[in-house]
Structure 1
């Protein structure tokens, strides 16, 4: 087949999953470290030879997986280097039994409860201040799904990191990102805003995080357990609403 004939062949459209994989490869090939800013949407679409709508969907996939984060009015940033992790195994287990999602959410509750209890005991003032700053960022992200999800993941991870146990942090983040991917699948696939993150509802969802910070700052274990449990109940409702038809 000649070069001109090859050029005449129709180009196979790239899926968002394909583009997400290409972005991960781009991060590795460019040796982008955590906190590095990705090129603008227009430039990245040109680099990857894809459409901007497909690129936006790919970015949503990576935001949910916790590999990049969106900062409102600033851009998209690398949060950690793409690599195989425990999340792949957790995700596979959920794929094999979608009915087990509430069991996975229970595990998330137990991990975050242990995390905040240990953070109360071991967390430094600087780490607690980081959690508080994460809440402010969460509040500022209301109305922007991508930025809100990034801020929410950062908030909960910051709490567990303050427990000073890297294994607990790794397991928690794997479980959390798997649940987030389940909860926001329609947003990833279609870009539709979940009911609980619409502008009329988002403030109420954000407000459930304030008692967690208040308890952590006061180093009040009982109040922390109650606040985390309340958040768990709300998340359970969202997961039920996200159940595939």
Structure 2
């Protein structure tokens, strides 16, 4: 399942959940407030404005990949249960759980808060993408309590096969590193962004079960940049700059 399909599917499911939230709020406007899980903190990647306006195809490639990566931040909302979801506190189960049903799909959010890390898991039961799911883990995430590092994993429909994986790490200097892997497309990209908005994008393609560097693109804090293209053996085949 491609990333575009995954994001579209998420949007449809999430809109359904929002619709259910509105109905629950109307029928029970004074429902007692229960414990809520911590929110998954997915940082949005920003780049210099000039980079997004340059006509150079490699600068446009950076903008396109980062826009795609930022689309994953929408998934953070899925780890927050809607109003009216049933809460089974830790003690009744091994972890906190919230469950709600929309149409033919039952969603269970499993939440665990440890000393240094927090984890979430979204489990689906019912009709999904034409498949019948039974306690199937749709996606899961884990992050440090300070939100500076973590990962998000999404699975292929009704399987344990990883579709995409997203890792992030923010250091004390304000620099951040993001690694996105699309296992269906055999593609991986690493985005490193510095505190001054300069950064680097590296795109890898899989070959013989190894990820081989295909593009490397760097940019300055003002949005000018430099790029390299590589062949399957790691040799530079093209190089250029933009201002």
In the superposition, the TM-score normalised over structure 2's length comes to 0.25
Higher relative contact order, structure no. (Cα contacts within 8 Å, ≥ 6 residues apart): 1
| Higher fraction of strand | 2
Larger radius of gyration between Structure 1 and Structure 2: 2
Q: Which protein is richer in helix relative to its size?
A: 1
